[in-house]
Structure 1
Amino acid sequence: MPVKGQKFTSYTTEFKLKAVNMYLEEGMGYNRVTKELNLISSSYIRRWVKNYREHGIEGLTERRGKAARLSNEKPHPERKG
């Protein structure tokens, strides 16, 4: 469970893609990739591989925060007046 004020690490799309390629193309296991990249849990790799298989590279991009939310919003109609 997160602690108040805890900072979370954000990983770049390139970093995630490297991890996915180590698993899929180089045949490394989840735990080996985790150790090679100094991650705290293999669940990151599992999630990234799953997202990559389902959505391609788009599945590895950050979807949280203002930037993601703005890209999903519908354009507002022009105000007259």
Structure 2
Amino acid sequence: MSKYSFDLKLKVVQDYKQGLGGYNFLAQKYNSNDMFQVRNWIKAYQSFGLDGLRRKRQSVSYSTEFKLNAVNLYLTTEKTYRELASELQMNNPALLKSWVISYRKQGELTFAPKLVEDLEKSQ
């Protein structure tokens, strides 16, 4: 996946806010060729402000409890991945989606290796 500069993402968001084009037009204008990426930048900005456009230098590690709670919330509400991720202060709805898919295939066992690590850390 290509990395895009903060400045480019900000220009795209500013153009969108000023009504200078939709996702597809702005993707073409800025040579992204991916209107979904443009949409993701705009949604990230709307949810998290400028921080939503910055690349994370460190990956975030979520506890097993957090993952199970997030999956349960998704399965028991009518919220989209994006809505729930925003509510949970996650900037990556695709990560939540991958947890749900894994959970549907393997149940809670999908997080079992992490469960063992969490138990060992708590002792």
Instruction: Give the TM-score category using the shorter length.
Output: 0.5 to 0.7
Runs of 4+, deviation exceeding 6 Å = none
2: CA distance between counterparts of 1:57 and 1:68?
Answer: 17
| 1:26 Cα deviation from its structure 2 partner | 3.4
* Identity between Structure 1 and Structure 2 (%): 28
Q: How many residues align?
A: 61
Deviations 1:29-63 (A, max 9, x none): 11110111111210111000000000000000012
Greater mean alpha carbon deviation, residues 54-63 or residues 23-32: 23-32
Q: Please give the TM-score of this superposition, normalised by the length of structure 1.
A: 0.66
The aligned residue for residue 20 of structure 1 is 13
Structure 2: 5+ residue stretches without partners: 62-123
Structure 1: 5+ residue stretches without partners: 1-7, 74-81
Aligned AA for 1:31?
N
Identify which of structures 1 and 2 has the higher relative contact order when contacts are C-alpha pairs closer than 8 Å and 6+ apart: 1
Q: Secondary structure at the match of 2:58?
A: helix
Higher helix share: 2
